Amino acid sequence: MEMPVFVDKKKDIGMKERIEALMAEIEALSCKSEQEIEEARVRLLGKKGSVTALFEEFRTVAPELKREYGQKLNVLKNTAAAKIEALKEAAAEAPAAGAASFDYTMPGDPVSLGSRHPVSIAREEIVSIFRKFGYDVAEGPEVEDDWHVFEALNFPPEHPAREMQDTFFISDSDNPVLLRTHTSSVQVRAMEKMPLPIRIVCPGRVFRNEAISARAHCIFHQVEGLYIDENVTFADMKQAILLFAREMFGAQSQIRMRPSYFPFTEPSAEIDVSCNICGGKGCNVCKGTGWLEIMGCGMVDPNVLEASGIDSKKYSGFAFGMGVERIAMLKWQVRDLRNYFENDLRFLKEFETSL
Ligand code: DAH
């Protein structure tokens, strides 16, 4: 007897095709958000999901097809479950998990920029004022020899500034190596090398063996100035410094000179500028005097010119030197020098607008 053909059309209503179609759909699944993935899981594997429905239907499949279709259905179910898992993992890992809801028109988080250090701001302002007056910028080494820091600047051998308390010596041979105590060393180097006339400012770091306090530090910055030509006079110096003070501290500023002494200048003076806080009336910044001390200066001593090979009969000149931290303190009323060296962001951020 011939075996009946058991493909009962009613009981195999295109199940194979539907399994294949569902398989293709599962493989192409690409939802990203957790919510979409969960919806897909319910749609496929939930109680009323399409895979679950196929399993229900499977019960009615003809026995001789059960093996084949059962395998196919199991593969389908496993594939669906694996796909859902993979999508979940990808969603958890992807940094752009919320990409679908990311609003690209939102303003970004502000990037916090660094600001210039007040000492740099002050130094550059000093230098740029003198540049406008026609001065060039010269620089020299921080590690120096005795000649450029003292000897050529007319410091007598027994001068106290050479002593260990003031100067950091690196070697104490007959020709000691030391850290420069002032930028006046650069004027010596300039006079030795540069053609005349010379008109320069020399900004730089200097070092002194001093106890650190609100008013003193072992490292600070200076700007040295030097002008050498024929017939340079004390009046020229006074005018240059007055113009500088007005650019730096305001057009109303006055200066006054007090006689002083430096080995490398004769005559020498110290310059005060009228207090820019009280306008000269007297306040606690100028300690009631109406004046603030800003620099030392003088006519370059003929001995200094000659030591660098310049004919002191033909040439004359003036020099000046100022502390950058001091100028910055006066300009911004900083009361403690240590603020400049501690890198406290609360202090530094106050200068952000001076960029
Ligand atoms: N070198 C001096 C100091 O460090 C500052 C100074 C004073 C420089 C007078 C000069 C000057 O050129 O003429 O205290």
Q: What is the pLDDT of residues 259-287, one digit of tens each?
A: 999 999 999 999 999 988 888 888 887 88
**Pairwise pLDDT comparison (49 vs 277), residue with the higher score:** 49
Cα–Cα distances (Å) from 316 to 109, 165, 200, 236, in that order, read 59, 33, 15, 11
Query: Is the Cβ atom of 185 under 6 angstroms away from ligand 1?
Result: no
Query: Is the Cβ atom of 184 under 6 angstroms away from ligand 1?
Result: yes
Beta bridge partner(s), residue 260: 268
pTM attached to this predicted model: 0.70
Mind listing the pLDDT tens digit for each residue in 189-219? 999 999 999 999 999 999 999 899 888 899 9
Ligand 1 centre and the CA of 323: distance in Å? 9
d(CA 66, CA 73): 10
231: tokens are 């017939």
In the prediction, which pLDDT does 99 show?
59
Query: Is the Cβ atom of 321 under 6 angstroms away from ligand 1?
Result: yes
36: tokens are 């979409």
Query: Is the Cβ atom of 339 under 6 angstroms away from ligand 1?
Result: no
**In this structure, are residues 340 and 212 in contact, taking their beta carbons and an 8 Å threshold?**
no
Helix (H, G, I), strand (E, B) or coil at 95: helix
Mind listing the pLDDT tens digit for each residue in 99-127? 567 788 889 888 877 888 999 999 999 99
For the packed helices 15-28 and 63-93, what is the interaxial angle rounded to 10 degrees?
10
Q: What angle do CA 138, 141, 142 make, to 5 degrees?
A: 120
Query: Is the Cβ atom of 319 under 6 angstroms away from ligand 1?
Result: yes
Cα–Cα distances (Å) from 66 to 57, 76, 149, 282, in that order, read 11, 15, 103, 107
143: tokens are 């590690």
Single-letter amino acid, residue 156: P
- Ligand 1 atom 2, closest CA: 321
Query: Is the Cβ atom of 323 under 6 angstroms away from ligand 1?
Result: no
252: tokens are 């109303």
- Ligand 1 atom 7, closest CA: 296
In the prediction, which pLDDT does 7 show?
46
Q: Pick the atom of ligand 1 nearest to 265's CA.
A: 13
Query: Is the Cβ atom of 301 under 6 angstroms away from ligand 1?
Result: no
198 DSSP 8-state letter: E
- Asked if pLDDT for residue 10 goes beyond 80, the answer is no
Query: Is the Cβ atom of 317 under 6 angstroms away from ligand 1?
Result: no
CB atoms within 10 A of CB 147: 14
Q: Which residue has the tokens 């010119």?
A: 305
Output b/e per residue, 31-61; b: 16+ Cβ within 10 A: bbeeeebeebbeebeeeebbbeebeebbeeb
288 DSSP 8-state letter: T
- Ligand 1 atom 8, closest CA: 321
Mind listing the pLDDT tens digit for each residue in 88-105? 888 887 655 455 677 888
Kindly report each contact of residues 17-24 with a partner whose C-beta sits within 8 Å and lies 24 or more positions away, as own/partner. 18/54, 19/54, 19/69, 19/72, 19/73, 19/76, 22/50, 22/51, 22/54, 22/76, 23/75, 23/76, 23/79
Sign of CA dihedral 32, 36, 37, 40: negative
In the prediction, which pLDDT does 6 show?
46
- Asked if pLDDT for residue 4 goes beyond 50, the answer is no
Query: Is the Cβ atom of 182 under 6 angstroms away from ligand 1?
Result: yes
Whether a cis peptide bond, with omega within 30° of 0, leads into 203 is no
HSE value, Cβ hemisphere, 13 Å, CA-based, for 162: 19
Query: Is the Cβ atom of 262 under 6 angstroms away from ligand 1?
Result: yes
Sign of CA dihedral 214, 218, 222, 226: positive
Q: Pick the atom of ligand 1 nearest to 184's CA.
A: 1
| Cα 137 from chain centre | 23
**Pairwise pLDDT comparison (172 vs 171), residue with the higher score:** 171
Q: What is the 3-state secondary structure (H, E, C) of 137-170?
A: ECCCCCEEEHHHHCHHHCCCCCCHHHCCCCCCEE
